[in-house]
A = this chain, B = another copy of it.
Amino acid sequence: MNDRLDTPSVIIDTDIMERNIRSMADSAKRLGIALRPHAKTHKMPSIAQKQLDAGAVGITVAKVSEAEVMAEHGIKNIFIAYPLVTPAKIARAVRLSGQIELIVGVDSLDGAKLLSQAALEAGRELQVRLEIDTGLRRTGVPYDQAEALASAIHAMEGLRLTGIYTFRGALLGGKPTLDLQAAGAEEGRLMAELADRIRAQGVPIADVSVGSTPTGLQAAVAKGVTEIRPGTYVFQDRMQARLGVCSLGDCAGSVRVTVVSRPAADLAVVDGGSKTFATDVQPNTDPMQLQGFGHIVELEDAVLERMSEEHGMLRLGPAAQASGLKAGDVLHIIPNHICSTVNLHDKVYFKSGDNYEERAVLARGKLQ
């Protein structure tokens, strides 16, 4: 092992990544739907460019600072799918809208007024999409208030309301589900019907945009949906495999770790803990029922059971105990949630055959 591959570090298998990028682009093409990947998973302009080259119409981000990094590196069509309400962020978005094709999210009358005022003061028009809550209870105007808000925003100077969007994840009737087909169908139908009702009020909604890696392709089947915004598909992860979206063999991202201690027959400690692996998708939560914080590629019956900041505790089953695992051995672990895991790493390593290339995660940790 050389310095460059010291552990812990994130490895991206580029063959699998390219396959995932192509597969989603082909599916979108087949369905006649626009693909606007969420860059939150990779946070890297070079991968965003690959997604565009494969046919994506633009990308999605959550923060103005992410949009700025992407724009600096040549990405020219960006949707900030997040309600902007602070003066600093709005000013930066207005500025950026003079340099690239920018769309901004909005989900309230107060927020729309702030955007409108800033756009007018700058002598510009901002393209906006209205976020709809279709059941997740996160951001988004409540479904039954969306028509009235769309009309009000449509009437505002300085704003051009061109679409509606939602994010719901794998939810059905308000509850987490593994039935992605039903979840996606419901998501698509809700959005298509709403778009029609808003149009009936004279608001020309062009874009009807839905999530997500687990439900996007299912929702896109609904007539009237025009765009999907999946993010995780580019690398996939253990959560998506558990949802049935992919297999573990489709996961392009893993964390390379070293066993630093073998204090007991059933215990191995690796050099990655909660500073290395995201903990926002927790083990043993319904309905995911994931065991542990990641899938250990090399050991079939080991579970990454506990973590502190720099320690990952593996409980070893009989096969792992018989494997002769010792301090210094290297393992690869597919994390439960790759997006928030990548956010913990300043750099990742692109693996192609036996070659490893260091790449900076340029839009990592962009919070504002």
Contact = CB atoms under 8 A, between A and B. Distances in A.
Contacts of A73: none
A344 interface: yes
A119 to B, nearest CB: 17
Interface stretch (A17-25, A47-55, A104-112, A191-199): A104-112
Interface in A239-289: 258-264, 267, 269, 271-276, 278-280, 282
Interface string A326-345: 11100000000001100111
Contacts of A82: 260, 271, 310
Contacts of A274: 278, 280, 340
A107 B262 CA distance: 9
A310 B63 contact: yes
Given A258-B85, A326-B110, A267 B310 contact: no
A88 B1 contact: yes
A261 B1 CA distance: 49
Contacts of A86: 1, 6-7, 258, 271, 328
A368 interface: yes
A309 B339 contact: yes
30 contacts: A3-B88, A7-B368, A62-B309, A62-B310, A83-B260, A83-B327, A85-B258, A85-B260, A86-B271, A108-B263, A111-B260, A114-B328, A133-B263, A137-B263, A137-B264, A137-B267, A139-B261, A139-B263, A142-B263, A142-B264, A272-B367, A273-B280, A274-B280, A276-B367, A278-B279, A279-B282, A280-B307, A280-B308, A282-B282, A344-B344
